[in-house]
Copies of this chain bind each other. A is one copy, B any other.
Amino acid sequence: MRQTAQRREILRVLRCSRDHPTASEVYARVRGSMPRISLGTVYRNLERLCSLGEVARIEVSGREMRFDADTSSHYHLRCVECGRVVDVDPADVSVDVHYPEEVDGVRVTGCRLQLLGRCRRCLASDSDV
């Protein structure tokens, strides 16, 4: 794989971000230092970095993908109102799950636990409404 300034910058931005930015957010941040980069390049590099395991794709439900330079195993807590995602230390969560090996012709390979909640900001604006 060829080294490029764009890829380096995208990775740098991701490593400085702790808020699991979307592709557009990465794009906006990278444009700060590299105004002529294109959104397509951001997508292509995020895709590439994901398959290399350098960043993680966070498949939180809802529309857009989010990305995380922290590829260590941890949980994500999502505010169901604004979509904000925060990390949860695995040490603070205990999980004991058992499931069948196969259901209805689908072999089970694993499971994903997602925490849901509401952030302070959204709780506050809820009381306004």
Binding site for B on A (CB under 8 A): 59-62, 65, 75, 77, 79-80, 84, 86-88, 92-100, 102-121, 123
Which residue of B has the minimal Cβ distance to A118? B107
Contacts of A114 in B (CB 8 A): 111-114
Copy number in the complex reads 2
Question: Which residue in B79, B98, B100 is a CB contact (below 8 Å) of A106?
Answer: B79
Contacts of A121 in B (CB 8 A): 105
Question: Which residue in B62, B77, B87 is a CB contact (below 8 Å) of A108?
Answer: B77
If A92-B103, A97-B113, A110-B115 are given as contacts, then 15 extra A-B residue pairs at C-beta distance below 8 Å, sorted by A number, are A60-B61, A77-B106, A79-B106, A80-B109, A84-B106, A93-B100, A94-B96, A95-B95, A97-B97, A103-B117, A105-B120, A106-B118, A107-B119, A111-B114, A112-B113
